[in-house]
Amino acid sequence: MQLAARVNRIAISPTSAVMAAAEKLKAQGVDLADFGPGEPDFPTPQHIQRAAIRALEQGRTKYTPTPGIAPLRDAICKWHAAQFGSSYTVPECIVTVGGKHALFNAFCALLEKGDEVLIPAPYWVTYPEQVLYTGATPVPVMTDPSDGFRLRAEMVSRAITPRTKLLIVNSPNNPSGAVIPNDEFVKIYEVCRAKNIWVMTDECYSHFVYGNAKPWSLTSVPGTKPNIIVAGSLSKTFAMTGWRVGYALAPEPLISAMIKIQSQSTSNPTSIVQKAAVVALRGPQQCVEEMRAEYIKLRDHVVNGLRSIPGVKCTLPEGAFYAYPNVSAFFGRSGINSASEIAGKLLREVHVATVPGEGFGSKDNIRVSYATSMAELSRGLERMRKFFGSL
């Protein structure tokens, strides 16, 4: 079949591929320890569920305005202001079908052939693929594992060329869990502003930061609005992955362009989900703090477990819900030469699902999602210990 070149430029997400392989094994009755999906194990909080049911019962089942219902756009701006001290207004906000869709709309509105996009590595698998889809060129910027994979301003400076149009920053980071220190993030922004380069800040994991770090947004710095795009999501913050609701905040002309694209593609995010999202943002925020507290315990458990396996090196993630152990000490043993082969063997031989680092732009690591239960983590860690011990 003769497909369009833009489709042939991109690959299916390796995370989705692992999820599909894991589902297949589960369907065969295999008892899997599943550390693949980047998805909270928690149910969506009850008050949010009830809001969706209410919306359904009240017949909120019609098309909505393309950029989202006004109360939701208003709730997003106010929530963002309350959480981070930003100052966005409704015309600077669009509601999208998940955070991934906010990124997609923004990239389609901004990028074209000839543009270069700086993507700090390791990166979320979707960034380079979406950039390739637009015809622009992704340019990986390798961060330093010995500095906990934090992006530094001088790395950005070195990578900029006259063609650089956009930098994508994801802090806390999927897959590494790295959190960029606030003052460094401001320096990164200043480097970009001086060269008229857009900064896309993906705040998907904003509320899952540990240690001394507090949820923070670059947009809380006065004067930063002109060349920043925020991509946000309710997926992780409120355990709403399947609901598909996210947003973007950006200067009005860019939001208008994104609305134009959305009007000719998805029309609007799901009506009843939008009603539930208003309640998530305006309602009690205690549920977010409870999840954060649980993630800290899970993180400590998985990192201690991984570090106790001889040969496995693991930095302490400062945010998100992934551990990103370095497994390169096992390359060259038992015919294994890559993280992909390790992840493949873990899945087939001891039924532990992880995602290999190659898709994230770093070849020595595997991603272990700890957004699961303590019991599942313990079970999987035990199997990993046996597996690595046998190599």
Ligand X SMILES: Cc1ncc(COP(=O)(O)O)c(C=O)c1O
246 binds ligand X (CB under 6 A): yes
174 binds ligand X (CB under 6 A): yes
241 binds ligand X (CB under 6 A): yes
Give the whole-angstrom CA distance, residue 18 versus residue 69.
36
Give the whole-angstrom CA distance, residue 236 versus residue 177.
14
Give the whole-angstrom CA distance, residue 203 versus residue 247.
10
What is the closest distance, in whole angstroms, from the C-beta atom of residue 241 to ligand X in the complex? 5
Piece of 41-49, 96-104, 327-335, 368-376 that binds ligand X (CB under 6 A): 96-104
Closest CA to 126 of 151, 98, 164, 94: 98
Piece of 40-48, 95-103, 330-338, 361-369 that binds ligand X (CB under 6 A): 95-103
Q: Give the angle subtended at the CA of 66 by the CAs of 53 and 130, to the nearest 5°.
A: 100
357 binds ligand X (CB under 6 A): no
What is the closest distance, in whole angstroms, from the C-beta atom of residue 306 to ligand X in the complex? 20
Closest CA to 88 of 2, 217, 207: 217
Nearer to ligand X, 64 or 233 (CB): 233
Tokens of 180: 């960029």
Sign of CA dihedral 378, 382, 383, 389: positive
What is the closest distance, in whole angstroms, from the C-beta atom of residue 15 to ligand X in the complex? 7
202 binds ligand X (CB under 6 A): yes
Give the containing element (helix H, strand E) for 199.
strand 198-202
Closest CA to 289 of 360, 355, 226, 239: 239
Contact with ligand X (CB under 6 A): which of 179, 204, 229, 371?
204
Contact with ligand X (CB under 6 A): which of 14, 36, 38, 215?
38
What is the closest distance, in whole angstroms, from the C-beta atom of residue 34 to ligand X in the complex? 15
Give the whole-angstrom CA distance, residue 360 versus residue 369.
14
235 binds ligand X (CB under 6 A): yes
For 267, phi and psi rounded to 5 degrees?
65, -70
50-69 footprint of ligand X as x/- string (CB under 6 A):
--------------------
Contact with ligand X (CB under 6 A): which of 104, 124, 149, 216?
124
Piece of 5-13, 97-105, 188-196, 285-293 that binds ligand X (CB under 6 A): 97-105
For 356, phi and psi rounded to 5 degrees?
-70, 150
Give the whole-angstrom CA distance, residue 335 versus residue 349.
15
Piece of 94-102, 142-150, 252-260, 372-380 that binds ligand X (CB under 6 A): 94-102
Contact with ligand X (CB under 6 A): which of 45, 67, 99, 138?
99
Q: Do 159 and 192 touch, CB atoms closer than 8 A?
A: no
Binding site for ligand X (CB under 6 A): 38, 98-100, 124, 170, 174, 202, 204, 233, 235, 241, 246
